[in-house]
Structure 1
């Protein structure tokens, strides 16, 4: 109201200055000689000062409570200000819906997860108020949970064409220029969307820039990685159907769930098939609880693609049936090398069956329409 910069902070005592009952928390045994020490003082706004000292709230604002609040705040500030410039990370968020469901993935949510991982977030404010955000919620068909039949094939192809273009625009027009001018040296990725789009996002991330990928945990609805505590299983790839005929093969990735042999489309059952799954533990939606689990999955994928390079050089297309946590889908796209590995045809479960949805990598130029069209031709009416 004054249009002046004024100092409105007040020094508040945790244990009151006086030792009588008239001084808030003054009867505490803390020596009076130490009641003006910084340990016993808090910087508060006037209204907060009045509230913590009000007679009606002294049972709530105890000495122990105020000391704990002060300590937690100091610990947080010490942590954040102790992070050097090399701990900065550029946050990329992709927000959509899955089977009509959405989750909270705000800027603050991402910042909390990044800070818990000993980094501090940069949102590239020069581009947008919320930083690098790929918002799929406005794409026509994004929230549709209806079965994808032949009558909706064109709409489905349009949706994926528009969604992938949106991803590409953000990467090419916003993230990549930041990398070029050395403003982006580390990236943190948060994604909640359909699995094929997450694979596509991973494929567009620059593999020369260190990248952390985050996972939403159903058990507590948090994006913060848990500490390593024996929760990280290893993963292995095995040949599930050992017949290599032609230039195409199948990989079933069972991590967050289990895709049975009977669910593999009939047109793929004659191809050589691999399965990637956790070792010694069951699959499950919350398996990716610790960062180490994602790192082990990444290592297993790299080993699998290296095996393809040495033992299946004739492969041109790899049909991927994923039951994956969303962070692992991003890793799949990032580990895949389009100049070295076979083109990925990513499937999605629609109307109770798996159908090809999106191509990743390769230079055939067939695109989304060709994949969906091939599905229409091979499966009758369903796409």
Structure 2
């Protein structure tokens, strides 16, 4: 006896569930409004706990109690994929609150959703974007607090096909805010601690496999940026950016910038086998008369640009930064060879922020002596902190 052919029937609840899964997938598990990760931030011993909610662009019902209910849409389409947004609890409350709903009309929410899904599509299509964790360092510079804004960072990264997001408990933005003034008591030690605290979180993310690439946007006094560079993980690919001068200038490196080369001069004064002064002249010349008396007569190696006058705008291309890093490492190798008994190096640098970070990255604690770094003041250069210890 032939068996009956059973009618297949997909329940309305199954259809609704498939629509919700599609919305989730297109949003990549992130809030459409604020981009917060809404799956896995809260964990139990058994599984991740979803912190996401589905919001309606046009109200879920035609009732006046439903936000944006008066927009023109057939009732049957209110639960369609096009009318649903994946959001976090906070954003859901904001967009539906009676005092805020006028700021989020259907066309605005539709625009936000489309922009969010385009960004996710770009990030996932053929691996076109490099995922990177951002380290932003900010402090007072000449009396005013400076830090790269999130908008500046986003514009810089997207122009390079970088995605400043990390799929983990980390936001992907590691901000180090250095407080106080350079002349304040304990400023340098507090700055070191703030850098250590920030990089400790970065190292945790690296160890968990959440970070494989780092982008650094630094604003701080030169000695602290040297310290930052000395503490960065040398096994993780790292790219350093710099705020460029001039109207409309941003953090992106100039594609047509000049490639500056560097060379070293040797100044032998009173011979010493145990201490050497290393000078970097990029932003301005370093007057030897401004050096502290106890290091002024020590052997001195000076790294400066070839056929270029030191200037605050000297380094405008990433190739120049690469050239500096290579020349600086060569100089350190030469100093190691010439002064094998050295117990301390002294670094005096007039350099842009990107160069300061690269300067610190070259030090090797196991192979090189401790380094004292100097800060420029009205009275000359003074020792403010030690690195490579």
The match for 2:131 is 88
**What does 1:85-124 correspond to in 2, within 5 Å?**
87-122=130-165
The CA deviation at 1:278 is 0.6
The match for 1:33 is none
The match for 1:163 is 191
Aligned-partner SS, 2:225? helix
The match for 1:225 is 253
The match for 1:131 is 173
The match for 1:278 is 305
The CA deviation at 1:225 is 1.0
C-alpha separation between the residues in 2 aligned to 1:291 and 1:330? 13
TM-score, normalisation: structure 1? 0.68
8 Å CA contact retained: 1:124, 1:132: no
C-alpha separation between the residues in 2 aligned to 1:274 and 1:224? 31
The CA deviation at 1:305 is 1.1
Aligned-partner SS, 1:303? helix
**What does 1:212-251 correspond to in 2, within 5 Å?**
212-219=239-246, 220-227=248-255, 229=256, 231-241=258-268, 243-251=270-278
Q: Relative to structure 1, is the Cα distance of residues 90 and 215 closer, same or farther in structure 2, using a 3 angstrom cutoff?
A: same
The CA deviation at 1:351 is 2.6
C-alpha separation between the residues in 2 aligned to 1:241 and 1:273? 6
CA deviations 1:66-109 (Å, max 9, x no partner) are xxxxxxxxx99986565727711111111111221333511221
RMSD: 3.1
C-alpha separation between the residues in 2 aligned to 1:123 and 1:133? 14
CA deviations 1:219-271 (Å, max 9, x no partner) are 244111110x3511111122123553141111111001111122222211221
The match for 1:378 is none
Which is bigger in relative contact order (C-alpha 8 A, separation at least 6)?
1
Aligned-partner SS, 1:286? coil
The match for 1:289 is 316
8 Å CA contact retained: 1:248, 1:315: yes
Q: Relative to structure 1, is the Cα distance of residues 110 and 216 closer, same or farther in structure 2, using a 3 angstrom cutoff?
A: same
C-alpha separation between the residues in 1 aligned to 2:196 and 2:128? 28
The CA deviation at 1:325 is 0.3
C-alpha separation between the residues in 2 aligned to 1:108 and 1:301? 33
Segments of 5+ residues of structure 1 without an aligned counterpart are: 10-44, 50-74, 149-154, 363-383
C-alpha separation between the residues in 2 aligned to 1:124 and 1:160? 34
**What does 1:211-360 correspond to in 2, within 5 Å?**
211-219=238-246, 220-227=248-255, 229=256, 231-241=258-268, 243-360=270-387
Count matched residues: 290
8 Å CA contact retained: 1:8, 1:46: no
C-alpha separation between the residues in 2 aligned to 1:280 and 1:114? 33
C-alpha separation between the residues in 2 aligned to 1:306 and 1:120? 36
Q: Relative to structure 1, is the Cα distance of residues 5 and 191 closer, same or farther in structure 2, using a 3 angstrom cutoff?
A: farther
C-alpha separation between the residues in 1 aligned to 2:306 and 2:125? 39
